[in-house]
Structure formats: structure tokens, C-alpha cells
Amino acid sequence: MKFSLYLPTGLGHNFASYTDPVAAFETITELARAADESGYETVWVADHFVPFPVAPGYVFESWTTLTALARDTSRIRIGQMVTGNNYRNPALQAKMASTLDVISSGRMTFGIGAGWYEDEYTAYGYPFEDAPTRLRQLDEAAHIIRSMWTQAETTFEGTHYRVHKALNEPKGVQQPHIPLLIAGSGEKMTLKLVAKYADACNVQVSPEELLRKYDILENHCATVGRDYESITRTSTSYCIIADTDAEARAQVPPWAPMVFPGELADYGLIGNLDTVRERIDAYRAAGVDELLISFHDSLDPGAIRDFAKEFIHP
């Protein structure tokens, strides 16, 4: 199982103490470089424009952030966890991803989801449709994006999107195309879209629940004639390491239930080193190929390096 870093870009009010935006962004760069040097697989960034919950604070846009990180790092992969489909036209997103794949010399993973942050949609003037509509929009978008990465030109007439003889050159560096990741755990629609289009998925639940979700994904793959093992399975966890389990559990943030289903303290990477090692084993046993880690000390590159020394390169 590989380990990746969920980079703070301001969604969680990470930069509340900063008064200089340049210094804040340089902190992101420092964290990404620490992950690059420590053997992490990918640095992932959220695609949001305002903090959660909404309040004044620095938030850095994901695509421009990743473009800078593509040049500020040398080995590590880069990607969104995940870009909001409704924030940009899908043909434009395909083009942006192709360009970023070239800039990064083939280190890009394109993560996309149906979107969820209604306050953000409202603030920026995007229509916030019901969940089934947003998932149907994602279905059409994924079709267009994959086509623009693989076909000489793309024509598509859908309910929500249409393109006519759209060209996209260069298509990127990676072959046969840039990896497409779809995030979400919806059993009837989202996981079906993963089976239909995606090279990777992200399901953010407990290891026990992952077993059930992955089983559903495997059934969807069988239905559409897809090799289940061809899909990279990722999940996201939160890390708090302390001398004792009780000390670590006491630091679980109050917003955790809004982001992580169930009782995060019971399955996240939360506890002393032995407990965290057991929790990592549980994710591995559930079938996770790549575990994204959000550190409680999110702005401390030392936490990134210490974790790597203990669990990536023990």
C-alpha cells in the first residue's frame, strides 16, 4: 500500500494565523517538497474557493496550485481530491489536465467528483442541482474528458453538455491517457460511474465499510465487463499520533463527523505508534492501494517526514 499526502490549501481554515498570502503558499510548497523527498506517492489538493464552514480566510485554487507544485517538485505525483465537475466546462477541464500532465512530465492524476459544497456554489454563482442531476452531469463530463484524451476529435450531444469536433493537443504525456479518478461512495450511481470510466476511485469510509463498498464496486465492474483489479483503490484518513491513544483521541477535531463517516477516532490513524500501525494494516487488509493522509499538524513538514520514517521507510 502506498501513502499520499492531502495538502492543506485553506479549506479547513489552515491559514487563519497568516497575514501574508505569499508566506502561506510557500508553506504549501514546503509541505509538498517534504512529501516528495520522503517517498509519498501523490500530493492531493482540494478544489474549493472558500473555507468550510464559510468564513473569511485564505484558500488557494487547486489547478493553479498544482501547476506551481508541478515545477516545485520532481518525483511525486500531483492531483485533485477532487475537482468539482460543475466549476468548469468538462472540455476545458480535459484541456487543462492535458496541459498540466505535460508541465509535470506525466505526473498528473485527474480527480473529479459531482460536487457537494452548496454554500460555495451559491457564493460563486453556480447552479446547485439535486444529487441525481449532478451525478448525471458527472457521467456526461467523464465521457467527454476520456474522449478528449483518447480520440482525434470529440463530438457529444448530451442533456447537460455538448461539444462539436473538439480538438485537444497535446493530450498529455501518460499512455494510454491521464489516469482518471472518481471520488465518492454512492452505491447506485457513483460507484457505477467508477466502473464505467475511472482508473482510480476514492472512498472515504472506515476499513470495515470499505470492504462492503469495494464489493459493490466489483459487482458494478462485472456488470459493465470491467476488470476490477484495473482500478486503483484509494481512501483518505486523518492522522494524530501521540504518546497514548487517549491523548490522540482527545485531539480529534469537532468537525470530523462532517467529513469522516462514523466515529473517526475508532478507525482513523489516531493513537500511539502501535495503534496507528494496526489501523494502517486494517486499510491494507480492506484492499486499499493508496492511502491519503491528512495530518492534524497540517502545516508541519516534520510530521510528514516523521510518518515516512516510521511507516514508509521504517
Residue 99 parent element (H or E): helix 90-103
The predicted-structure confidence for 66-91, as pLDDT tens digits, reads as follows 999 999 999 999 999 999 999 999 99
pTM of the model: 0.96
The predicted-structure confidence for 115-162, as pLDDT tens digits, reads as follows 999 999 999 999 999 999 999 999 999 999 999 999 999 999 999 999
Would you state the pLDDT for residue 134? 98
Cβ burial, residue 126 (10 Å; 0-12/13-18/19+): middle
Pairwise CA distance, residues 286 & 296, whole Å: 24
Domains of the chain in sequence order: 2-312 (3.20.20.30)
Q: Band of the pLDDT at 314, cuts 50, 70, 90?
A: confident
Q: State the chain's mean pLDDT as an integer.
A: 97
Would you state the pLDDT for residue 261? 95
CA distances from 167 to 135, 154, 170, 171 (A): 25, 7, 9, 9
Mean pLDDT, residues 164-187? 98
Return the residue matching grid coordinates 480538438: 167
Contacts of 270 (CB under 8 A, 6+ apart): 238, 239, 240, 245, 248, 249, 252, 264, 276, 279
> In angstroms, how far apart are the furthest CA atoms of the chain?
60
